[in-house]
Structure 1
Amino acid sequence: MIVKHLNDVVNTQDDVDTRTWNSRRLLLHKDGMGFSMHDTIIKAGTETFIWYQHHVEAVYCIEGEGEIEIIGGETYPIRPGMLYALDEHEKQYLRAKTQMRMICVFNPPLTGGEIHDENGVYPLLAHSMD
């Protein structure tokens, strides 16, 4: 059994902080669950272009308000209790009106240090269970 607390991750290498978001990575590939889980803060007043070319992601908002704009599609308001799943590798803009706290799940799982590249993509890393 794996037992972790958010405080075990904050201010470690699994606490990835960027200009627009801060991802506290609770479960990663090394944990062997087949997915990764993150407690992520989207910073107020920011916009992030994202394209999960190699991953699918489910996101559950537990705090704050914003919106997700699917490029070439609709824009959806985000507020606590809303879940969205990016199951077709949609290109998107994520905008935070206020600070948002999101629980995010990725498949394939992230290894820990990923950040979006210039195309908004997380790289698909060769995973090893070693």
Structure 2
Amino acid sequence: MIVRNVNEIEGTVDEIITANWTSRRVLLARDGMGFSFHETVILPGTETHIHYRNHLEAVWCIEGDGEVETIADGRKYTLGPGVVYALDDHDEHWLRGGREPLRVICVFNPPLTGREVHDARGVYPLPAGAEHG
């Protein structure tokens, strides 16, 4: 059994901090679960271009506010507590922070290794030997 407290990840190599967000990576590929599990806080007023070509992601918003916009059709979705969105078609999108920090719980398949950051196209690389969904 794996038991972790997300607060213990703060300040470790499993906490990734960028100008737009902070991600605490709770379960990773090394844990052998077949997915990774993260708590991420999107900073207010930020905009991040994301296109997970190699991963599927589900996001559960639990605190704060924001918006996700799919680039293919320009549809905008308001984010707040209780909203779940799933990038089931590798949807290229903009993720925007609102007035308050947006805290989300994310699940990735295939699992992240923990050190990924978005490249210039908004993509995380596919780990060697992994298949994407």
Q: Same fold (TM over 0.5)?
A: yes
How far apart are the structure 1 equivalents of 2:111 and 2:129? 9
* Residue 89 in structure 1 maps to residue 100 in structure 2: no
- The residue type equivalent to 1:122 in the other structure is Y
> Does structure 2 retain, via aligned residues, the 8 Å contact 1:29–1:127?
no
Partner of 1:61: 61
Partner SS, residue 40 of structure 1: strand
Structure 1 equivalent of residue 125 of structure 2: 123
Count residues with an aligned counterpart.
128
Partner of 2:80: 79
Q: 1:70 offset after TM fit, Å?
A: 0.2
With structure 2 as the length reference, what TM-score do the two structures score?
0.94
Cα 1:29–1:127, aligned 2, differ >3 Å: closer, same or farther?
Answer: farther
Matching residue of 1:50: 50
Indicate the SS of the match to 2:7: helix
CA RMSD of aligned residues (A): 1.1
**Equivalent residue runs for 1:32-43 within 5 Å:** 32-43=32-43
**Structure 2 residue aligned with 1:31:** 31
- Pairwise CA distance, 1:127: 5.2
SS where residue 8 of structure 1 aligns?
Answer: helix
Gap runs ≥5 in structure 1: none
Identity %: 55
Per-residue Cα deviation, 1:46-68 (whole angstroms, up to 9, x for no partner): 00000000000000000011110
Structure 1 residue 7 displacement after superposition: 1.9
The Cα offsets for residues 56-104 of structure 1, whole Å up to 9 and x where unpaired, read as 0000000011110000221100010000000100100000112100000
- The 3-state SS of whatever aligns with 1:93 is strand
State the secondary structure of the residue aligned to 1:57: strand
Aligned mate of 1:101, from 96, 103, 107:
103
Provide TM-score, normalisation by structure 1: 0.96
Displacement over 2 Å in runs of 4+ = none
Deviations along 1:97-117, one digit per CA (max 9) or x if unpaired, are: 121000000000000000000
Q: Is the 8 A contact 1:9 1:15 kept in 2?
A: yes
